[in-house]
Amino acid sequence: MIEIEGKSVFNGVAIGPIAIFVKVDTQVRREAIEDPEAEIARYHEATETAKDQLQALYEKALKEVGEESAFLFQSHQLMLDDLDYVESVENIIRTQNTNAEYAVAQTGDNMAEIFAMMDDAYMKERAADVKDVTNRVIGVLSGSGSAGMRADVPSILLADDLAPSETVQLDKSLVLSFVTRYGSTNSHTAILARTMNIPALIGVDYPEDCEGKTAIVDGALGKIIIDPDEATLAAYQKKKEEEEKKAALLQELKGKDNVTKDGKKINIYANIGGVKDVASVLENDAGGIGLFRSEFLYLESDDFPSEEEQFQAYRKVAEMMGGKKVIIRTLDIGADKQVDYFELDKEENPALGYRAIRICLTRQEVFKTQLRAIYRASHYGTISVMFPMIISLDEVKKCKNMAELVRRELDSEGIPYGDVELGIMIETPAAVMISDELAKEVDFFSVGTNDLTQYTLAIDRQNPKLDDFYDAHHPAILKMLKMIVDNAHAGGAWAGICGELGADTTLTEEFLRMGFDELSVSPSMVLRVREQVRQTDLSAGG
């Protein structure tokens, strides 16, 4: 039994097999070769290795999940023998005198595109299979293996670290817990863990040879136990059952009002990263969506998502929420959220650099495309928009002008849209200090406490060495929050919190006393915050 200490990101207990996330350099480089036949032989050798890997996966899946699910790995083996596929690879190597990795990548891209264009739904789905098989062969050829989480059953995921672009591609149903060597308690992996309501640790120096072994993650104590003995395993199984009973009790709060004992009401909304998260929002009985992180549509795409693609996503969320408020944050990339096709320059200080609204105001076609999609979707529900990283009145006015331009365009085209509230995120000290003026220009404020804390305390929240200095309860932050809500109400706007601090139940009573109108939290925290609100009596002391 091995016990390794780390730093807790989210509480809870997870028990299951370990799966290690493997990072691979997926960029295939084209290289000239002198002996095409030798390169073809290398390609065939790689396919045989890939077949062996797939056969092993088939046999494992057959035992664990049954023949129907295991058949996928057999079909992937057959794809490697497909004559069109093989001949294409060989032809590219011979005619272009190029390396096998490039020939396989080109063939995979071409064949996947052919499948994707077919009308038959089943055949369309084969495009993903072709990509999977192709990546496996490239991994063998390059010696790096295939990337991602290698698991067929729900597992505890171990990784050096996970970028936002990697977390969005994970099959969330297979992740019981996140455990990383690096990262910080305020990273996007940490935020995802809280959204998924699963335990997570950072700073864990786990051994490389632990894949497949049974492990326990104790989020409360910040440790992972690998190969637990029977007594330890039994004790944690009992602890996990007790947690599940407590969670079941919270379910009794569904349908109840978010109101204190003395009658003070507050809206409790949920934060999401995409359409798939709406199920969790509804399951946890949130009153609306207070933060739709629209940048994940860009992170999941290989190119700029079109107006139609964005419209369909926003419309679906609006319809699924059945008229409840959905607040969409406009594109917020940059800093730790990098998207290759934006071709952003490397910056020494990305958190203080070209990001969020600064990109939108200088790449106006990207901005206008997103706003058109949002306004079109507003016809199908109750949608609001908020602009991130605001530091001046001038920026707000430019955003409002773009929104007005979009409305005029839609009117001229006869496209209907709803009444869209316009708000801003307060996440810079500059915005706090002029919040009295900003409130007169917008319908609402939503405080991004993660960045506001970072900028106020001069602490990079992605730097794990600074976690001990990062104090979201710092008196300066709390004074700023009070200033924000007072100025919002004085200027005719409402005020909410959408940062991680909104879910801190030790501050719920203070937020209520400050006068906040809304708290937006991870879906898994909605009922816990509701419980805290309902237990609070503002007439007693304070």
Check: CB of residue 184 under 8 Å from CB of residue 200. Answer: no
Query: Could you count the other beta carbons within 10 Å of the beta carbon of residue 83?
Result: 7
Measured between alpha carbons, how far is residue 190 from residues 159, 167, 202, 255, 461 in Å?
13, 10, 9, 29, 12
Active site residue 188: yes
Closest CA to 103 of 89, 87, 114: 89
How many CB atoms sit inside 10 A of residue 506's CB?
8
Whether residue 498 contacts residue 450, with contact meaning beta carbons closer than 8 Å, is answered with no
> Could you tell me which residues are beta bridge partners of residue 495?
445
Closest CA relative to residue 258, chosen from 542, 46, 538, 536? 536
What per-residue string of b and e applies to 267-280 under the rule 16 or more CB within 10 Å gives b?
Answer: bbbbbbbbbebbeb
Owner of token pair 């007072």: 486
Residue 345 DSSP code: P
- Cα distance between residue 101 and residue 123, in whole Å: 25
User: What pairs with residue 259 in β-bridges?
Assistant: 265
Contact criterion met (CB below 8 Å) for 525 and 250? no
First to last CA, the chain: 49
Task: Give the CA distances from residue 93 to residues 43, 101, 190, 400, 463, in Å, rounded to whole numbers and listed in that order.
Answer: 10, 10, 44, 54, 45
| Catalytic, out of 188, 210, 360, 399 | 188
**At residue 334, what are phi and psi to the nearest 5 degrees?**
105, 180
Angstrom distance (rounded) from CA 330 to CA 386: 6
Has 360 been annotated as catalytic?
A: no
3-state SS, one letter per residue, for 380-415: HCEEEEEECCCCCHHHHHHHHHHHHHHHHHHHHHCC
Cα–Cα dist 130/116, whole Å: 10
- What phi-psi label fits residue 209: left (phi over 0), alpha (psi between -120 and 50 degrees) or beta? alpha
> Which H/E stretch holds residue 34?
none
Q: 385 — phi, psi (to 5°)? A: -125, 140
The single residue listed with the structure tokens 């699924």 is: 320
Catalytic residue among 210, 360, 399, 498: 498
User: What is the Cβ-side half-sphere exposure of residue 317, based on CA atoms within 13 angstroms?
Assistant: 36
Place of tokens 């059945």: 322
Which amino acid, residue 92?
I
Query: Would you name the residues annotated as active-site residues?
Result: 188, 498
